[in-house]
């Protein structure tokens, strides 16, 4: 609905009814009908004459009042006419294709020379501020109009919509100008005076909580969401109470306060199931609840355990897609909220499905859902500039980039890393939230093309930029593997890192997947040190953990490394028992590096066992994998984006210069 013609700005707010004393109205109506005056008690002639004079004066006064009232009504009607005419023109220009914002602003500014009443003045300042804020870069004028709207509206009773919308928009503008210290007291005051207006009170609480979240003050944000949940309960809105509690649960998950999360999610589940209301709102609450559960499992690295919740989530989003939006508004104004539009929820479910597929090693499935999600995002971004869509896009790209590196598509991965850089250039906040992940991806790319010094620099930069425990553990695990492959260059640093991610003693995070990966890295280190029995112990622990949660890629890596150990020890039969399933699993993922490694081992094993035909077949597979990887390696290193591997400080570089050719070796991959 148009911001100029929605109910809060409709004609009913501008009709100024003339209230005249009832006796005058009755007298005038009788005169118009020619009706006799009401009967009087008998009086003397002199008193009668005086009464006649008095009534004559009253009639004259009534006539004068009627003329004044008629003039005032005509003036009010004229005022309403010019105001509505200007408003109509403004709306016409705003909704033109393309919008004519300058003419829209001129029409609204033309209201002020008429010296309108305070209500119209405040509303017009709000409309001007809103148009300038949303459609121009003139933030100074937008701020001036919104500040006037906020100031004037506070002096007017029963003018909540304009008052609180002005406060909400003005605080948004302050945040955009990095004036957070101005936004906070404004929102607090609006919250304080909005307690009798449930919709605005809840909306402003959400807004202030979001502001604290963006500042990473999650404690204050959780406190506000708790206040909102209690307020919603008092005003009888279980739906909005659930929204507040689920939002608080999301922040508690971010803070890793799992002891508080579990009872909160249990309570939310009960509220969601018991609430009877709009089907779309109910299903959206269920999606929110299930998304939190799924991400909680994935953060814990429990890929197998999450499957029932993920299946429920996928069924839920299918149910929502079949429901039609109800135009009937909830009877409780506190229920006038939506968590996310249906289309955004669909993208989010695709996203968590990609996250699950990536962790589980179903990379073709991850690719399939990424393509669907990115296609949906492109359509949405044509009509919607919501920042959350860019966040979804970046997270999807981060996951698909890791898939590309595993499947041997480094050149494509590098171009997608460049795409993430471009998205981050458009939003400083997006870059701030994803800088560590971006450097981590560059580190993984450097490892894939054997640029180990650059990989070390990228991982070190990422560690400096993150305080997220799971990401920190992921980076340290990969950095340790870089140091292991480089031999004795970083022994002291390597021992320090391995001690900090020791899976046997006080592992820093609760992630099942990361702990299993830490066991693998310890096994890899022991293998390079020639301590084969110790390596086998660590790798068997990895296998045990990865099998328990269907971590297919870790399983494949552990099997092929165990096969290599048995081969070195001369136990060819046991080696074959490890390498064959590793090759099968790697083909299913598909993991190009493990396939290359497995085919080399199968070639050597079959040669040692005298199986010439099998050895030839394995050698041919190895040759094919080598050629594919080499071709992709050369293509990636020839791209101008390859220069990103040297970027370790500041915002992403805007332009790239082409490389003369690859300067790296494929030897480490063979």
Cα 470 from Cα 209, distance rounded (Å)? 25
Minimal CA–CA distance to 516: which of 538, 484, 494, 483?
538
Question: What's the pLDDT at 399?
Answer: 95
Minimal CA–CA distance to 352: which of 304, 294, 290?
294
**Which residue shows structure tokens 């302050």?**
174
Q: Is residue 201 part of a domain?
A: no
**Which residue shows structure tokens 């945040």?**
175
Under the banding of pLDDT at 50, 70 and 90, the label for residue 492 is: confident
CB atoms within 10 A of CB 612: 10
Query: How many residues in the chain?
Result: 670
Question: What's the pLDDT at 634?
Answer: 95
Question: What's the pLDDT at 225?
Answer: 97
Cα 499 from Cα 505, distance rounded (Å)? 9
DSSP 212-263: HHHTT-HHHHHHHHHHHHHHHHHTT-HHHHHHHHHHHHHHHHHTT-HHHHHH
Cα 505 from Cα 534, distance rounded (Å)? 16
Domain count, the chain: 1
Range of the domain at 161: 86-191
Count Cα neighbours of 536 within 13 Å in the Cβ-side half-sphere.
13
Question: What's the pLDDT at 654?
Answer: 73
**Which residue shows structure tokens 């984006």?**
641
For the chain, the average pLDDT equals 85
**Which residue shows structure tokens 């030839």?**
616
- Residue 90's contacts (CB-CB under 8 Å, 6 or more residues apart) are 4, 104, 105, 107, 108, 127
Cα 492 from Cα 483, distance rounded (Å)? 10
Q: Is 449 helix (H, G, I), strand (E, B) or coil?
A: coil
Is the pLDDT at 18 greater than 90? The verdict is no
Find out whether the peptide bond into 41 is cis, omega within 30 degrees of 0. Answer: no
Can you give the C-alpha Rg of the chain in angstroms? 35
Cα 653 from Cα 418, distance rounded (Å)? 10
CATH code, 165: 1.25.40.10
Q: Is residue 125 part of a domain?
A: yes
Query: Residues of the chain with pLDDT > 70: what percent?
Result: 85
Is the pLDDT at 46 greater than 70? The verdict is no
Q: Is 339 helix (H, G, I), strand (E, B) or coil?
A: coil
Q: Is residue 149 part of a domain?
A: yes
Question: What's the pLDDT at 277?
Answer: 85
Residue 248 near residue 213, CB atoms below 8 Å: no
Q: Is 44 helix (H, G, I), strand (E, B) or coil?
A: coil
Chain Cα centroid distance, residue 393:
10
Is the pLDDT at 319 greater than 70? The verdict is yes
Cβ neighbourhood burial of 566 (10 Å; 0-12, 13-18, 19+): buried
Cα 81 from Cα 73, distance rounded (Å)? 12
Question: What's the pLDDT at 79?
Answer: 53
Cβ neighbourhood burial of 266 (10 Å; 0-12, 13-18, 19+): exposed
Is the pLDDT at 234 greater than 90? The verdict is yes
Per-residue pLDDT reduced to its tens digit, 458-472: 999 999 999 888 999
Chain Cα centroid distance, residue 567:
49
DSSP 111-156: TGGG---HHHHHHHHHHHHHHHHHH-S-HHHHHHHHHHHHHHHTTS
Question: What's the pLDDT at 226?
Answer: 96
Question: What's the pLDDT at 510?
Answer: 85
Minimal CA–CA distance to 88: which of 205, 167, 3, 4?
4
Question: What's the pLDDT at 37?
Answer: 38
DSSP 416-430: HHHHHHHHHHT-HHH
Question: What's the pLDDT at 256?
Answer: 84
Q: Is residue 342 part of a domain?
A: no
- Residue 655's contacts (CB-CB under 8 Å, 6 or more residues apart) are none
Task: Return the structure tokens found at 619.
Answer: 């050698």
Q: Is residue 526 part of a domain?
A: no
Cα 92 from Cα 74, distance rounded (Å)? 27
**pLDDT: which is higher, 34 or 571:** 571
Minimal CA–CA distance to 163: which of 131, 205, 123, 207?
123
- What is the largest distance, in Å, between two alpha-carbon atoms of the chain? 145
Cβ neighbourhood burial of 227 (10 Å; 0-12, 13-18, 19+): middle
Q: Is residue 66 part of a domain?
A: no
Per-residue pLDDT reduced to its tens digit, 547-605: 999 999 999 999 999 999 999 999 999 999 999 999 999 999 999 999 999 999 999 99
Give the orientation angle of helix 45-94 with respect to helix 101-109, to 10 degrees: 160
Q: Is residue 121 part of a domain?
A: yes
Question: What's the pLDDT at 231?
Answer: 96
pTM of the model: 0.81
**Which residue shows structure tokens 């981050």?**
424
Q: Is residue 373 part of a domain?
A: no
Cα 489 from Cα 589, distance rounded (Å)? 33
């Amino acid at each position: 609905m148009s911001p100029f013609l929605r109910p809060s700005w409709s004609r009913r707010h501008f009709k100024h009814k003339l209230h005249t004393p009832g006796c005058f109205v009755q007298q005038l109506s009788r005169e118009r009908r020619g009706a006799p005056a009401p009967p009087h008690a008998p009086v003397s002639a002199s008193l009668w004459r005086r009464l006649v004079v008095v009534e004559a004066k009253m009639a004259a006064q009534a006539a004068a009042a009627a003329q004044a009232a008629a003039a005032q009504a005509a003036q009010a009607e004229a005022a309403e006419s010019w105001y509505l005419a200007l408003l109509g023109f403004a709306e016409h220009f705003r909704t033109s294709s393309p919008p004519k914002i300058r003419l829209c602003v001129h029409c609204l500014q033309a209201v002020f020379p008429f010296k309108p009443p305070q209500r119209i003045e405040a509303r017009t300042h709000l409309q001007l501020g809103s148009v300038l804020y949303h459609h121009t870069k003139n933030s100074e004028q937008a701020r001036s109009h919104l500040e006037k709207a906020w100031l004037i509206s506070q002096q007017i009773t029963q003018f909540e919509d304009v008052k609180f919308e002005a406060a909400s928009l003005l605080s948004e503008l302050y945040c955009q100008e990095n004036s957070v210290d101005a936004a906070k007291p404004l929102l607090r005051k609006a919250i304080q005076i909005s307690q009798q207006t449930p919709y605005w009170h809840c909306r402003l609480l959400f807004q202030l909580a979001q502001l604290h979240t963006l500042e990473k003050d999650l404690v204050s944000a959780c406190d506000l969401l708790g206040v909102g949940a209690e307020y919603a309960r008092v005003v009888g809105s279980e739906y909005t109470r659930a929204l507040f509690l689920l939002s608080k649960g999301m922040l508690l998950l971010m803070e890793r306060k799992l002891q508080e999360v579990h009872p909160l999610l249990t309570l939310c589940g009960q509220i969601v199931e018991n609430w009877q209301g709009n089907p779309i709102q109910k299903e959206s609450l269920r999606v929110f609840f299930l998304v939190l559960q799924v991400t909680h499992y994935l953060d814990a690295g429990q890929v197998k355990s999450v499957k029932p919740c993920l299946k429920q989530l996928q069924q839920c989003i299918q149910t929502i897609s079949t429901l039609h939006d109800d135009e009937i508004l909830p009877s409780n104004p506190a229920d006038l909220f939506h968590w996310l539009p249906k289309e955004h929820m669909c993208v989010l479910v695709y996203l968590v499905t990609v996250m699950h597929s990536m962790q589980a090693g179903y990379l073709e499935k991850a690719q399939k859902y990424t393509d669907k999600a990115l296609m949906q995002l492109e359509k949405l971004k044509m009509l919607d500039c919501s920042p959350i869509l860019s966040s979804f896009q970046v997270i999807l790209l981060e996951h698909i980039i890791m898939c590309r590196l595993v499947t041997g598509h480094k050149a494509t991965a590098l171009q997608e890393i460049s795409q993430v850089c471009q998205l981050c250039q458009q939003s400083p906040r997006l870059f701030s939230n994803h800088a560590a992940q971006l450097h981590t991806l560059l580190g993984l790319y450097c490892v894939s093309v054997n640029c180990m010094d650059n990989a070390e620099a990228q991982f070190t930069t990422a560690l400096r930029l993150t305080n997220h425990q799971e990401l920190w553990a992921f980076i340290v695990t990969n950095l340790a593997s870089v140091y292991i492959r480089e031999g004795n260059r970083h022994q002291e640093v390597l021992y320090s890192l391995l001690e900090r991610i020791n899976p046997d003693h006080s592992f820093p995070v609760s992630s099942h997947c990361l702990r299993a990966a830490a066991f693998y890295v310890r096994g890899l280190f022991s293998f390079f040190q020639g301590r084969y029995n110790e390596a086998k112990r660590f790798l068997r622990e990895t296998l045990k953990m990865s099998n328990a949660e269907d971590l297919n890629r870790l399983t494949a890596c552990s099997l092929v490394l165990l096969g290599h150990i048995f081969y070195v020890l001369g136990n060819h039969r046991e080696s074959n028992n490890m390498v064959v399933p590793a090759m099968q699993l790697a083909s299913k993922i598909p993991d190009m590096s493990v396939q290359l490694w497995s085919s080399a081992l199968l070639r050597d094993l079959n040669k040692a066992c005298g199986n010439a035909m099998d050895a030839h077949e394995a050698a041919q597979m190895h040759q094919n994998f080598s050629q594919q990887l080499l071709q992709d390696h050369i293509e990636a290193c020839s791209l101008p984006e390859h220069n990103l591997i040297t970027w370790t400080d500041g915002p992403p570089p805007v332009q790239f210069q082409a490389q003369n050719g690859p300067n790296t070796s494929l030897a480490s991959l063979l």
